[in-house]
């Protein structure tokens, strides 16, 4: 998984990264955005446009936020609350629009600081 969106995006969701993504692999949950590791081409266009610096490569996630790496994968590989099937790789966020839910981890997450 090349890029991950971590804590700073929760309850912010600026969406600038979505506009810069050439493969449309950034999906909208209820509280946060998620990069699909199966669709991301590791171009890095999303990282510099994020106004809250929430995006980084999976091996450069800020200290104390490594749980967001596994959580981003779960968003696409496990059924989300209220859904029967996992999202998988639907071929672009524009094809399905906002998901309207988050992983249980993000739904119950309390931001620090």
Fold of 3-107: Alpha-Beta Plaits (3.30.70)
Number of Cβ within 10 Å of residue 14's Cβ equals 15
Enter the tokens of residue 40: 């991301």
Asked if 13 and 32 touch (Cβ cutoff 8 Å), the reply is: yes
User: Each residue of 24-43: pLDDT tens digit?
Assistant: 999 999 999 999 999 999 99
In angstroms, the Cα distances linking 53 to 5, 58, 59 are 9, 14, 15
User: Each residue of 52-62: pLDDT tens digit?
Assistant: 999 999 999 99
Domains in the chain: boundaries: 3-107
Q: Tell me whether residue 37 is exposed, middle or buried, using C-beta atoms within 10 angstroms of its C-beta: 0 to 12, 13 to 18, 19 or more.
A: buried
pLDDT of residue 45: 97
């Amino acid at each position: 998984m090349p890029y991950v969106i971590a804590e700073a995006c929760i309850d912010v969701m600026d969406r600038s990264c979505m506009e810069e993504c050439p493969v449309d692999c950034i999906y909208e949950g209820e509280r946060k955005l998620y990069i699909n590791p199966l669709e991301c081409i590791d171009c890095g266009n999303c990282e510099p446009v994020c106004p809250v610096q929430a995006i980084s490569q999976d091996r450069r996630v800020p200290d104390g936020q490594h749980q967001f790496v596994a959580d981003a994968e779960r968003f696409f590989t496990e059924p989300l609350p209220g859904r029967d099937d996992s999202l998988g790789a639907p071929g672009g966020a524009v094809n399905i629009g906002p998901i309207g839910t988050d992983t249980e981890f993000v739904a119950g997450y309390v931001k620090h600081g």
